[in-house]
């Protein structure tokens, strides 16, 4: 695979430093002209389960300034294992370690002894991509030509870090002497030049690094350039990887209470067909409809057992099938399942390329993860049922929900007024204030509306032509009281689990219409292109600061805490979004 652009496959972020400090290192690489970096985690000894989350924590937040661009700057995760014996090599890189190794995009090994170096060159390890040789000190082993030939024959890449070449004079002499020998024997084949930078000042621009390698190591300009570009390929970066990494997923084998039947489990690697795309998930929300599916009360349910929960989310392209056009999707692109598909609560997903929609990567991931269900529902209900004109009014209950918050903001953008109804609860005044900051005209609790002449509360606003109901019961009846003659109420949820009750007089004397909206049915009606256009529009609004709503990102490792919050066990909580 020939990858365009320049790569620095070893940048060493400092876990003890602030995100801002680490971001500056990666931003420096971007400014200098690199198109991708690998964030390297050095590790000595065997990996344990406690090390698995390190891979995801190495990735800098997608909201960091370097992401504010249409084309994503690629960040890969890497682990470099320091190994001091043949036995250590065999254990650390054994098939039994694959589950943990595959949580990283690149696996490198650094031999510390002659036995370790020889074993890495001779043995076959399915998950080893790079042999990294530390030239900052005198090598504790000899570089042997027969061993290097074996390594090259097996497709391993050999790495030289240039930071020792620009260190103090003693380190420079030692590094140059031994690195030159590696260059002479390999003739630049499968050679990778990386910075191994701990600070932004240690990174050199691609052409500076090329000149440095040519002058100090004797590499031709062409070979030095290849060492920072086309040679920077590893099995995890391949666009034709045949299998995905093993995934961690939230499963259920039977319907029932979500906190009783959901479990976290490991899934084996999945085959990536020639027209498939493997996506590493970044974030996915816990929606009420997700919980309804688990409970078995939703019309569309996945087959059991071992059903993976979740319906929407955002991920990053990890690998492409051989027949996927890289002009349409490329590793590092942000994508969402479109239309939404079951099974987003897992770390890796393999689906046909046509099932993924590329989206902008310069907005926080929690917004991209949640854009399909709630904001799109709000937009469609404003457009599909009543021909509203600027100055018209609509009324809704459940106004603090994400759909409710989106309705307020989208209505304001279109010159519409909103009457909003919320539950009576502690902190209701704070909730009112937040909704008014979003653009709500009036916000009432249900108890405030327990009066005979409810329309006296409208003031100068016209009677609502459209009502939106996601609660049912008394809250739905209040919406109906507000509606004008010939008005329409659209029901899209039933959070109270109480029926919608309508008086006979409402039908006879007010000629009201009752409709329903189910996004999944709407999207199944050949609306793929239309929905993708609207999703892009909504994300543009997010980017412009015109659409926002409350959410809480919770690490996937704390899934059960996020689930309890979504179930209301911790009182009223923002929308829970899992961060992978």
Is 76 designated active site?
no
Backbone angles phi, psi at 382, to 5 degrees: -70, -25
Cα 339 from chain centroid (whole Å): 17
**Dist CA 491 CA 381 (whole Å):** 10
- Give pairs for 2-5: CB < 8 Å, separation 24+: 2/230, 3/36, 3/229, 3/230, 3/232, 3/233, 3/237, 4/35, 4/229, 5/34, 5/35, 5/36, 5/229
Q: DSSP for 358-419, please give it.
A: EE-SSS-HHHHHHTTTHHHHHHHHHHHSS---TT-EEEES-TTSHHHHHHHHHHHHTT-EEE
The vertex-204 CA angle with 201 and 208, nearest 5°, equals: 145
CA pair distance 238, 252, nearest whole angstrom: 33
Give residue for tokens 């030289």. Answer: 160
Residue from 215, 298, 348, 492 carrying the catalytic annotation: 298
372, 508 contact by CB (below 8 A): no
Quick one: which of 75, 115, 20, 140 has its CA closest to 317?
Answer: 75
Rounded to 10 deg, the angle between the 428-438 and 402-413 helix axes is 30
Residues ≥6 apart with Cβ < 8 Å to 82: 42, 43, 44, 109, 110, 112
Name the DSSP letter for residue 240.
T
Q: The tokens of 36 are what?
A: 């991708």
* 278 DSSP assignment: E
Q: What are phi and psi of 415, to 5 degrees?
A: 75, 25
543: phi then psi, degrees, rounded to nearest 5: -60, -35
Q: For helices 374-384 and 528-543, what crossing angle results, to 10°?
A: 110
Q: Is the Cβ–Cβ distance between 78 and 43 less than 8 Å?
A: no
Among the listed residues 241, 437, 410, 396, the one whose alpha carbon sits nearest the alpha carbon of residue 324: 241
Tokens representing 273 are 């067909």
Q: What six digits make up the tokens of 60?
A: 């800098």
CA dist 559 and 569 (Å) reads: 14
Q: Helical H runs in 389-527?
A: 402-413, 428-438, 473-482, 504-508, 519-523
What tokens does 168 get? Answer: 């103090």
Per the structure block, which two tokens stand in for 81?
Answer: 């294992």
Cis peptide before 339 (omega within 30 of 0): yes
- Give catalytic residues, as residue numbers: 298
């Amino acid at each position: 695979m020939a990858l365009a652009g320049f790569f620095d496959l070893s940048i060493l972020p400092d876990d003890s430093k602030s995100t801002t400090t680490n971001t500056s290192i990666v931003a420096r690489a971007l400014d200098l002209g690199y198109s991708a970096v690998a964030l390297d985690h050095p590790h000595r000894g065997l990996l344990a389960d406690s090390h698995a989350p390190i891979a995801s924590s190495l990735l800098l937040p997608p909201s960091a300034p370097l992401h504010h661009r249409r084309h994503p700057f690629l960040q890969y995760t890497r682990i470099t294992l320091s190994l001091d014996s043949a036995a250590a090599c065999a254990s650390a890189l054994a098939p039994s370690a694959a589950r943990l190794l595959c949580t990283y995009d690149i696996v490198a090994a650094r031999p510390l002894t002659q036995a370790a170096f020889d074993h890495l060159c001779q043995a076959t390890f399915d998950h080893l991509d790079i042999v990294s040789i530390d030239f900052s000190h005198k090598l504790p082993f000899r570089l042997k030509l027969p061993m290097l030939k074996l390594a090259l024959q097996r497709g391993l890449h050999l790495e030289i870090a240039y930071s020792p070449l620009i260190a103090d004079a003693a380190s420079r002499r030692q590094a140059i002497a031994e690195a030159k020998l590696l260059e002479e024997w390999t003739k630049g084949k499968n050679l990778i030049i990386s910075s191994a930078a701990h600070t932004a000042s240690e990174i050199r621009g691609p052409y500076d690094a090329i000149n440095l390698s040519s002058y100090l190591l004797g590499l031709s300009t062409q070979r030095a350039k290849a060492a920072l570009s086309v040679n920077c390929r590893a099995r995890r970066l391949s666009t034709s990887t045949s299998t995905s990494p093993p995934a961690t997923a939230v499963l259920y084998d039977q319907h029932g209470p979500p906190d009783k039947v959901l479990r976290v489990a490991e899934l084996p690697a999945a085959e990536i067909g020639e027209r498939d795309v493997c996506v590493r998930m970044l974030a996915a929300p816990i929606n009420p409809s997700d919980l309804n599916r688990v409970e078995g009360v939703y019309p569309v349910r996945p087959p059991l057992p071992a059903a993976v929960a979740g319906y929407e989310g955002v991920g990053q392209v990890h690998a492409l099938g051989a027949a996927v056009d890289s002009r349409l999707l490329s590793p590092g692109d942000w994508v969402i399942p479109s239309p939404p598909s079951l099974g987003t609560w897992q770390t890796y997903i393999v689906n046909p390329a046509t099932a993924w929609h590329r989206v902008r990567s310069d907005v926080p991931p929690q917004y991209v993860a949640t854009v399909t269900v709630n904001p799109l529902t709000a937009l469609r209900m404003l457009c599909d049922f009543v021909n509203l004109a600027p100055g018209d009014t609509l009324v809704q209950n459940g106004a603090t929900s994400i759909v409710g918050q989106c309705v307020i903001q989208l209505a304001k953008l279109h010159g519409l007024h909103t009457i909003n109804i919320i539950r009576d609860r502690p902190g209701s005044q704070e909730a009112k204030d937040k909704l008014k900051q979003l653009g709500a005209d009036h916000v009432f609790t249900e108890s405030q509306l327990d009066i005979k002449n409810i329309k006296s509360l409208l003031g100068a606003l016209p009677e609502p032509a459209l009502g939106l109901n996601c609660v049912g019961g008394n809250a739905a009846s209040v919406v109906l009281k507000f509606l004008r003659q010939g008005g329409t109420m659209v029901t899209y949820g039933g959070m109270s689990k109480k029926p919608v009750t309508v008086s006979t007089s409402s039908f006879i004397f007010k000629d009201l219409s009752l409709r329903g909206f189910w996004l999944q049915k709407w999207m199944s009606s050949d609306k793929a292109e239309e929905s993708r256009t609207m999703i892009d529009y909504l994300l543009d609004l997010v980017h412009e600061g015109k659409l926002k709503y409350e959410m809480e990102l919770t690490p996937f490792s704390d899934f059960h805490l996020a689930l309890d919050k979504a179930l209301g066990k911790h009182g009223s909580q923002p929308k829970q979004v899992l961060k992978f």
